[in-house]
Amino acid sequence: MGEFDLIARYFTRPTARAVLGVGDDCALLQPAPGTQMAISCDMLVEGRHFFADVDPFTLGHKSLAVNLSDLAACGATPLAFTLALALPRADDAWLAPFSRGLLALADAHGCELVGGDTTQGPLNICITVFGEVPVVNGQSQALLRSGARAGDDVYVSGTLGDARLALEALRGTQALPAAVLAQARQRLEQPTPRVALGQALRGVASAAIDVSDGLLGDLQHILKASTVGATIDTSIAIDLIACYDQPDWATGLISLKNQLEYVLAGGDDYELAFTAPASAREAVQAAARQARTPVTRIGRIESEAGLRLIDGQGNTLTRNFASFDHFA
């Protein structure tokens, strides 16, 4: 199988919304009048972002999911994406499930594959995704990191910490019952980008980010961009780990210390962390219902810089949590 056969077999499909898709020097998109184009790009590397023996179907899913999660954080509607792929060899047994996983998620979000590149090399998956954000009365409806204000509430969607729990179990540093591992592993390998929630929060949330490197580290980006601080109630956040819903879960299997680490700094959650004025609490819950995605209020934005953690009694936690950094 040559390069062009590979592209034709696995990655070329008719486009519905794009003017021109795979097969020319460029793809052509025609943005709707009065919209901005949101663009994000993520690169996944074997051994860093996924294990070498990961199921290629779930890897295809995750490769696009992490990009759709960035569109979600911006409140954008997915339109299209490009895929650049470095492969050790052109292997049908890998390409067929990888492309199925990738395109199934793409279809679920109406996000068309419009172009890309393939080359031989150490496995590397780079996706650039394009979405649309409306401009209303000259105002962009994009959710940015910079809009949080003192007095705003801090929220997070869905569940936190299960992806990291699965990672630790797969690394052998955390014992887990099979049913719990299966559930947690699903969160690690097939995260759900909160695309509908991001769109529903346009005009409601004041700032948003997706949780990829760990909740606290990612919240810090909002605080820095908005020049504010925050206090987070860890007694609420710690319950956001989903695995405790498992009927056969044995309490105490994860130490409290580790559970806090997984939830607050685990990474790979692909939930949305966002802020909204206290006056918008009803609107936030309405957006959550509309998007069928639970959201939990975990803290408050303050004018004093810094991120403060409290327990259920309001006492300050002094522990530090490191956010994921590829070069730290």
Q: Give, as ranges, the residues between 222 and 281 that touch its own copies (CB under 8 A).
A: 225
Which member of 51, 54, 55, 82 binds its own copies (CB under 8 A)? Answer: 82
Q: How far is the CB of 125 from its own copies (least distance, A)?
A: 9
Distances (CA, A) of 91 to 59, 83, 84: 15, 17, 16
Answer yes or no whether residue 56 interacts with its own copies by CB under 8 A: no
Q: How far is the CB of 71 from its own copies (least distance, A)?
A: 6
Strands 124-136 vs 271-276: parallel, antiparallel or unpaired: unpaired
- Site stretch for its own copies (CB under 8 A), options 53-61, 126-134, 241-249, 274-282: 126-134
- Site stretch for its own copies (CB under 8 A), options 75-83, 155-163, 170-178, 234-242: 75-83
Minimal CA–CA distance to 159: which of 242, 88, 38? 242
Question: Which residues, 19 to 48, sit near its own copies by CB under 8 A?
Answer: 19-20, 23-31, 33, 36-48
Q: Which is nearer to its own copies, 118 or 259 (CB)?
A: 118
Minimal CA–CA distance to 274: which of 325, 180, 210? 210
Rounded distance between C-alpha atoms, residue 30 and residue 24, angstroms: 16
Rounded distance between C-alpha atoms, residue 180 and residue 244, angstroms: 9
Answer yes or no whether residue 175 interacts with its own copies by CB under 8 A: no
Rounded distance between C-alpha atoms, residue 205 and residue 197, angstroms: 11
Query: What DSSP string describes 126-191?
Result: EEEEEEEEEEETTEE----GGG--TT-EEEEES--SHHHHHHHHHHTSS---HHHHHHHHHHHHS-
- Site stretch for its own copies (CB under 8 A), options 114-122, 151-159, 187-195, 256-264: 114-122
Question: Which residues, 182 to 211, sit near its own copies by CB under 8 A?
Answer: 208-210
Q: How far is the CB of 59 from its own copies (least distance, A)?
A: 15
Which member of 115, 158, 191, 267 binds its own copies (CB under 8 A)? Answer: 115
Answer yes or no whether residue 71 interacts with its own copies by CB under 8 A: yes
